[in-house]
Structures are given as C-alpha cells and as structure tokens.
Amino acid sequence: MGKETTIKSSSRQPTPRSEIRVLIADERKLFRQGLIALFATETGILVAGETADGLSAVELADSKKPDVVVVNVNLPGLDGLNAGRKIRRQPSPPELVFLSTRHNEGQMREAFRIGGRAWLLQDCDFRELVFAIRKAAIGDYYLSGPAGHEMVQEYIDPGEDIEAAARIMTRREGELARLLAEGYSTKEAAARLRISVKTAETHRAAIMKKLQAKNVTDIVKYCIRNRLIEP
C-alpha cells in the first residue's frame, strides 16, 4: 500500500448508517464477482448492485440509491469520469470512489472536481478499498499513492486566480513554460525556441509573475494540472 492521504470534508456531514450500500462499476466480471464475495465477509458493507459499463452505472445509481459507487475510470461506452459526473448530478447523489490503472494527474484532478471522494489504483489491497469506501461514506477524502494533502487540496480548490492569470499567457510564454517544466534550462529552452537568452529570461519572469510561481516546481505543477506535460 502506498502513502495515503485523508482529508476531512467541511462541506458535507452525512449521517452514518449501519450499512454502507455499494454499487460496483467495472467491466471485469471476475473482478466484480471477487469484490462481491469479499464484501459478503465485511461487516457493515452491502453490495447494492454491479455493472460493466458507464451508462448502466448511471441508471443503477439512480434506481438502487447506493451510498457509494466504486467506479473504474476506464469503463466502456461512457467512461468512469463522465459516468461519475452524471451520477453526481442526481438528487441526493452517492459518493464516488474511483479506480484506475495509474495515477494520472489530469484524471485525478477531474475526479475530485466532479465530486469524487477517493482515488485508488485498481491493484490496491482489498483492505485499502474498504478503508476508502468507509471514508467516502462519511464525507472524507482519500487518495493513495505518491500524493499529499496539499495536492488533494489543489484538486478540490485549484486556485481560480492563478488559472485566470495563466489564461493570459502568450503562446511563446506557454511554450517556454512547457520546456522549463520538462527540465530544460532557460538557455537550452531559448535555443530550442530560437530566441535570445535575454528574451527567454523576460518571458520566464512574466510566467513566474502570472502564475504566482516561486520556483520552477510551481511551473511544473501548473503544466501537469493543465496537461501540458505528462506526470
């Protein structure tokens, strides 16, 4: 199990229930059957339904009224994120626990923005999944793997002022920001962009000001969040 992060939500305080009703949405039939068998041995968790695709997940979430939906990001048809978005628009929606094959920065950010409570790798331990479900059911956040408290907060509240400032970056500033985030020095980036080092330094100063960045690490975070580079 990787490093874990839990954050108490201040926006929602659900009433604890004796049983947590769970809907499983994953295209792998054997995986679903395995979870159903394991949940049958878990006190306080009841499987309310299962499905292999996103559209059915949305329909079952509405009809079965689960407390938590465990949804794979890579569902066929309607993918897990879009299914989750539709589910969260339902009256009194359930909480969402997302499963994925890897920690994709853009997908994680979107998952928490649409109302997700937890993100785990799909090869996680069963006990970790149970822990995440119980956290989600009471309105807590959970994120496993190489991420910390600060990163989860950025997903939930990414900083609208910084995002707005970034939108007024010029095309050249955006290109330079991407190269700096990829590890190029200002001199190397200038050579690749075929501009003078002095011009590159001017662009870099403008980028730092617009992003309110203290160092290159802040530029890297911005580029990852906006999918300019892969994490």
Domain edges within the chain: 4-156, 160-225
The reported pLDDT for the residue numbered 226 is 67
Which is nearest to 81 in space by CA: 132, 36, 25?
Answer: 25
Q: Which tokens go with 212? A: 């309110």
pLDDT digits (tens, 9 = 90+) for 78-121: 999 999 999 999 999 999 999 998 777 778 878 888 889 999 98
| CATH architecture label of 160-225 | Orthogonal Bundle (1.10)
- Name every residue whose Cβ is closer than 8 Å to that of residue 185 and which is 6 or more positions away in sequence: none
E strand or H helix at 128, and its extent? helix 126-137
Which is nearest to 126 in space by CA: 14, 226, 24?
Answer: 24
The reported pLDDT for the residue numbered 229 is 67
Which is nearest to 70 in space by CA: 61, 62, 138, 172?
Answer: 61
Name 118's bridge partners.
Answer: 97, 142
Question: Which of 13-22, 39-48, 99-108, 220-229 has maximum average pLDDT?
Answer: 39-48
Determine the 3-state secondary structure of 167 from DSSP.
coil
| Cα-based distances in Å from 30 to 36, 59, 78, 81 | 10, 22, 20, 22
Phi, psi of 151 (to 5 degrees): -70, -40
Q: Selecting from 3.50.50.60, 3.80.30.20, 3.40.50.2300, 3.90.1640.10, what CATH number does the domain 4-156 have?
A: 3.40.50.2300
Question: Which of 71-75, 160-164, 207-211, 227-231 has maximum average pLDDT?
Answer: 71-75
Do 172 and 163 contact (CB within 8 A), yes or no?
no
For residue 72, which amino acid is it? N
